[in-house]
Amino acid sequence: MDCIFCKIIAGEIPSSKVYEDEKILAFNDINPMAPVHVLVIPKIHIPSCDGINEENSCFVKHIFEKIPEIAKTAGITNGYRVITNCGEDAKQSVKHLHFHILGGRSLPENMG
């Protein structure tokens, strides 16, 4: 499958890893929008939020259970924002479900 995040999971493309376990991987975004900008992805290919279902939602549950630990590991101490872009209007560019964790400074109020 020609998916850049599946290639990162497989180790075919290098990444700056923040956290990994059997279900998920967290790594630094290549184009950071904040001092801390981590992406958290499931280790199975789910194209976007639209692809979440009863069979795979355990990966999403696990991501949210681990986000506080990942944010702390990444150095965030004073709050953070979690964002996922889904589809055209949201400008989703990588078609593998991912959650952005943004922090490390006071973030703008306007989200679009």
Catalytic machinery residues = 98
Alpha helices by DSSP H, 36-102: 57-73
Place of tokens 């949210």: 64
Q: Judged by CB under 6 A, does residue 92 bind ligand DGP?
A: yes
Give whichever of 39 and 76 is closer to ligand DGP, judged by the CB atom: 39
Q: Who contacts 84 (Cβ-Cβ below 8 Å, separation ≥6)? A: 48, 49, 97, 98, 99, 100
Give the per-residue contact string, 16-55, with ligand DGP (x = CB under 6 A; - = no): -----------xxxxx-------x----------------
* DSSP single-letter state for residue 50: G
- Give the pair of three-digit tokens for residue 101: 């964790």
Give whichever of 29 and 66 is closer to ligand DGP, judged by the CB atom: 29
Sites of contact with ligand DGP (CB under 6 A): 4, 13, 15, 27-31, 39, 85, 91-94
